[in-house]
Structure 1
């Protein structure tokens, strides 16, 4: 068991979770729209339930990770995700006969597990690997993991299309099984050698210890103008992404339509996602060679450019009647997202103190969940009241203030190390 390095375990964990996610979500709209018949508002409410769960539990689970163990938090999250996706894939069967639950109610219940499991992993996995390998090595590792994740996504696309053509719910069941397998693998191979649990009084209760950890994380965010800015960024970004992520496939199905070719919807989405993933791999490879992950000013410039690309091409997708232009916009948005993820993770983790890293990362994720929870239903209502095109356009408009935020960041001097050890008075 000791032959597995932390980097190897992290990379394989990312490979497995990317494989599971791609297997599940490549053809999810076929299951939701074609099989279960959900409308745009129902789709957005599914996302709202998920994000409300994240909003409630993200801070709690981040504190658990910082107070007790990142390893335990990640492994627990894997098993909960496996259960959630298995339930979601089984909804079409469990809702039949004399069951008192509709398929929609079961899917909403599965979203609760999805959100809870995700919060146990969110922040804890990144905090664990940054502590194990160090901040200087983490940036390049994030890029490598992104490339490996995209490769896993290609494999998952093929699996998803093949299973969806048999039964639309099978990708969910397969994805749940992969999460269970990932949990078992981490249970055996994941080691936590650098993490120091938060010191606490022998008489202190677990709840008081977690409260103190949360207070320290909140103080870290409050004392850093840059982190406060990023909370604002993720708030608006979450509101926008909920609309785009939930509706772009539905827009292609109902708003634009597919070319008159003998291909099923599952095959079309498989081809689109495969091409998008390949382009993402190319973009990440290019970025890995050209971007200095240790230069915070350059990272700000890169994030500004990527945000501008995202805004422009979500608007193109919303406005164009052409299938070819719409798919091209999806490709470019996907490339921008592939590069933005490791750049953002590297920038953020360079500005965090180890003892409260998971807690602060969870707080940032909470702001994303808050944005999706508050903005998602509004974007969904726009789609039901007017059109999905209007929803996508609203998603683009929500991101416009972030251009000013990143633009300002490229002009001011780069801050020195922002986060200092902060002692919270009990």
Structure 2
């Protein structure tokens, strides 16, 4: 491998490797959390609530650090913290035995704090870095290419996850944590930051660093306040986050405990979950490839229309999962939902970055992640309470209901654009 890799290659490899680690960890997470640790629906949502509360607290701080000091080093620090957090999450039973003051569930919550802090260092910083390096016009295409390559990482991670889970259900988390640590070392050597312009620093006061960070935060907040589209996206992210927490945490539990797997086929839960993830990735690959080749990613009206269609399909997929009468319908719901979310990410990131100035890019993106965390931390416990009082199926329906206001917000944006054209 050459010493100098361009930003596109580094970003694509980072997407591939993080997808490899995430698939290794999350493909069979329900086997670990639901079967091995025996978490209830409310406990599953509590895990998510701690994670999102951590993100909510730290997101604004770390986004400002990336804009004031370095996007590159913010990403690298995040990778190391994530690695430690996932190793802890996979070691909660061993930690409970060695440190009996905390239960396995308490250690699980501690790991979510690491996860949340590490995530906040990377979110916003990685996107801000690559947009500055390649330019806004090329960013959309880079996002789609990186997403397509990341799906190959997902394919590999699925196999690793199933294989490790059949040996011991916690091993996927430990392996994924080590992968993040390796990625941090890779980025130290190959990630270059050539286009980032640091803001002028305050001199002569003991609180100069805090003043720099405060100025960056106020600049990002002012940008959102001045742009109605960014305010709208902030609300969209809140509702989307509230909806995603319930579905993401509970669909596997719903499949395992309520729907079940086909009779007559002998396979472990880990194998079934791995096969579903494999099918989902294989379906997503041609869809992303087609979007990469045919979609005009820089057309703002087309991007908005695409987001509306994808949101409607996402709501339909969640409802289909909730009311699936059998495994076949549940599988169709998962495939549709995962394909929609795979395509939604790069399109949303492209539209968002078209409305952000470079100097506050990481801060604004972090604020968006903060609003997502607010939605998840507020919506998650509500959805979990519904699951405990009624059923997991009812929780998933609640997730779809929480997502419906997003369609109204997008529709309002279309009306505002039409009115603006008439005035012109």
Report what 2:339 is aligned to.
335
Secondary structure of the 1:346 match is helix
Counterpart pick for 1:290 among 290, 294, 297? 294
CA–CA distance in structure 2, aligned partners of residues 264 and 316 of structure 1: 24
Q: TM-score, normalised by structure 2?
A: 0.96
1:415 to partner: Cα distance: 11
Contact map agreement 1:7 1:129 (CA 8 A) in 2: yes
Q: TM-score, normalised by structure 1?
A: 0.96
Cα deviation code 1:214-237 (max 9, x no counterpart):
000000001111100000000000
Report what 2:193 is aligned to.
192
Secondary structure of the 1:96 match is helix
Alignment length (residue pairs): 416
1:3 to partner: Cα distance: 2.1
Counterpart pick for 1:253 among 247, 253, 256? 256
CA–CA distance in structure 1, aligned partners of residues 76 and 69 of structure 2: 13
In structure 2, do the counterparts of structure 1 residues 356 and 415 end up closer, same or farther at CA, with 3 Å as the change threshold? farther
Secondary structure of the 1:127 match is helix
Report what 2:126 is aligned to.
125
Contact map agreement 2:62 2:74 (CA 8 A) in 1: yes
Contact map agreement 1:296 1:414 (CA 8 A) in 2: no
Deviates more, 1:319-328 or 1:361-370: 319-328
In structure 2, do the counterparts of structure 1 residues 415 and 191 end up closer, same or farther at CA, with 3 Å as the change threshold? farther
CA–CA distance in structure 2, aligned partners of residues 98 and 296 of structure 1: 54
Report what 1:422 is aligned to.
none
Report what 2:86 is aligned to.
85
In structure 2, do the counterparts of structure 1 residues 203 and 122 end up closer, same or farther at CA, with 3 Å as the change threshold? same
Report what 1:359 is aligned to.
363
1:98 to partner: Cα distance: 6.2
CA–CA distance in structure 2, aligned partners of residues 97 and 189 of structure 1: 38
Cα deviation code 1:336-392 (max 9, x no counterpart):
111111000111111110000000000011000000000000000100110000000
Report what 1:368 is aligned to.
372
Secondary structure of the 2:9 match is helix
In structure 2, do the counterparts of structure 1 residues 414 and 211 end up closer, same or farther at CA, with 3 Å as the change threshold? farther
CA–CA distance in structure 2, aligned partners of residues 112 and 3 of structure 1: 35
1:411 to partner: Cα distance: 4.0
Gaps of 5+ in 2: none
Counterpart pick for 1:215 among 207, 214, 218? 218
Contact map agreement 2:202 2:209 (CA 8 A) in 1: no
Give 1:341-352 correspondences, 5 Å limit: 341-352=345-356
Report what 1:36 is aligned to.
37
Report what 1:22 is aligned to.
23
Report what 2:161 is aligned to.
160
Contact map agreement 1:301 1:407 (CA 8 A) in 2: no
Report what 2:203 is aligned to.
202
1:409 to partner: Cα distance: 2.5
Deviates more, 1:282-291 or 1:188-197: 282-291
Deviates more, 1:278-287 or 1:42-51: 278-287
Q: Does 2:103 align with 1:99?
A: no
Give 1:242-281 correspondences, 5 Å limit: 242-260=245-263, 261-281=265-285
Q: Does 2:303 align with 1:299?
A: yes
Report what 2:314 is aligned to.
310
In structure 2, do the counterparts of structure 1 residues 98 and 56 end up closer, same or farther at CA, with 3 Å as the change threshold? closer
CA–CA distance in structure 1, aligned partners of residues 373 and 82 of structure 2: 17
CA–CA distance in structure 1, aligned partners of residues 297 and 413 of structure 2: 16
Contact map agreement 2:144 2:292 (CA 8 A) in 1: yes
| Structure 1 residue ranges (4+ consecutive) displaced by more than 3 angstroms after TM superposition | none
In structure 2, do the counterparts of structure 1 residues 414 and 341 end up closer, same or farther at CA, with 3 Å as the change threshold? farther
Contact map agreement 1:29 1:249 (CA 8 A) in 2: yes
Report what 1:149 is aligned to.
150
Contact map agreement 1:316 1:329 (CA 8 A) in 2: yes
1:407 to partner: Cα distance: 2.1
Cα deviation code 1:59-113 (max 9, x no counterpart):
0000000000011100000000000000011112221266222110111000000
